[in-house]
Amino acid sequence: MRDLGAGFGHLLKGQRWVARHGKSYGFGLLPGLITLVLYAAALVALALWGADFVGWATPFADDWSSPWLGLFRGFLTAVLFALALLLAVLTFTAVTLLVGQPFYESLSERVDRDVSPDGIAPESDLPLWRELWISGRDSLRVLVRALVWGVLLFACGFIPVVGQTVVPVIGFFVTGFFLTEELASVALQRRGVELRDRLALLRSRKMLVWGFGTPLGLAFLVPVVAVFLMPGAVAGATLLARELLGEETREGAGDHDPAGDVAAGPVISPAPGPSAPGPSAPGPSAPGPYGPPR
């Protein structure tokens, strides 16, 4: 239970950090706004021409009598729009992170410099195009895993009582886990931690991850809310990544402008969990020290 509170604490600290650093917050809003406009345009287009598409895709029903033709195609149009909306919710974070890779990379580095005792942030030696490729590839792999969980939970939803009580709760925790992975990947990828090792690392502190990602996932069900919370979520995920890796963090960090001098302060070192790694993250070619993926 302590880790649950700590995870939620990182979420709040991230929002407070961007609230104190207005320029970073405004900078971090741009990718979410761009993605929101693109998604809104796609949904509007689907609402306007979705019925035409369904009609084109179901020529076998052209000769059906009224009202069956209208009911059938109206139902398919509604299902198509509902699926598109669900897909938009599931992919919004991943697409926003992909669009905003340079923005969030810069924001995450500023957080690292601000909270690090020596004012130094880990940096990636990879070119931007390579980082974008890795980010897109890993996001797709995570999305596939999330969809598999979604299908399983959807099937379990038909179980009487359990499907209407337990399954939705499990669904929120699953969403929180994968959402945290997507957000923490900004800081962890910069440290050279591969997807396989990231997933194992997050599994080693599930309560911490759920405390951060589950309430955020509930808020992210509304994409407009996600736009305004995204910069703080990236900042909070950077703090969470530092705790997962056992990196030292200054107490009271984030109260000053990281562009200025790094104020000296007492150093706290979060105790890693029983399966958490030491302070150094593995390089891209290093063997995964966290055990095989489950």
What DSSP assignment string belongs to 113-174?
Answer: HHHSTT-------S-HHHHHHHHHHHHHHHHHHHHHHHHHHHHHTTSTTHHHHHHHHHHHHH
Mean pLDDT, range 91-99, rounded to an integer: 81
The mean pLDDT value of the chain amounts to 80
Token output for 151: 């299908």
Any idea which of 25-34, 58-67, 72-81, 249-258 has the lowest mean pLDDT? 249-258
d(CA 261, CA 44): 48
Mean pLDDT, range 82-111, rounded to an integer: 83
Any idea which of 60-69, 149-158, 235-244, 280-289 has the lowest mean pLDDT? 280-289
pLDDT in tens, 241-256: 999 998 887 765 544 4
Mean pLDDT, range 139-156, rounded to an integer: 83
Per-domain boundaries in the chain: 2-36+91-250
The angle subtended at Cα 171 by Cα 18 and Cα 226, nearest 5°, is: 25
Give, in order, the Cα–Cα distances in Å from 97 to each of 168, 231, 238. 26, 10, 14
69, 129, 76: which is closest to 98 by C-alpha?
Answer: 129
pLDDT at 43 over 80: yes
d(CA 200, CA 289): 9
3, 27, 58: which is closest to 214 by C-alpha?
Answer: 3
pLDDT at 111 over 90: yes
CB 213 within 8 A of CB 176: yes
- Which residues are registered as beta bridge partners of 250? 267
pLDDT at 286 over 70: no
Q: How confident is the model at residue 290 (pLDDT cuts 50, 70, 90)?
A: very low
Mean pLDDT, range 16-42, rounded to an integer: 89
201, 44, 29, 45: which is closest to 103 by C-alpha?
Answer: 29
d(CA 241, CA 209): 10
- Of residues 74 and 263, more confidently modeled: 74
CB 187 within 8 A of CB 237: yes
**Residue 273 CB: number of other CB atoms within 10 A?**
17
With tokens 């890779």, the residue in question is 101
pLDDT value, residue 275: 42
- Of residues 152 and 277, more confidently modeled: 152
- Of residues 53 and 118, more confidently modeled: 53
pLDDT value, residue 252: 58
pLDDT at 93 over 70: yes
Quote the pTM value: 0.72
The angle subtended at Cα 57 by Cα 55 and Cα 63, nearest 5°, is: 55
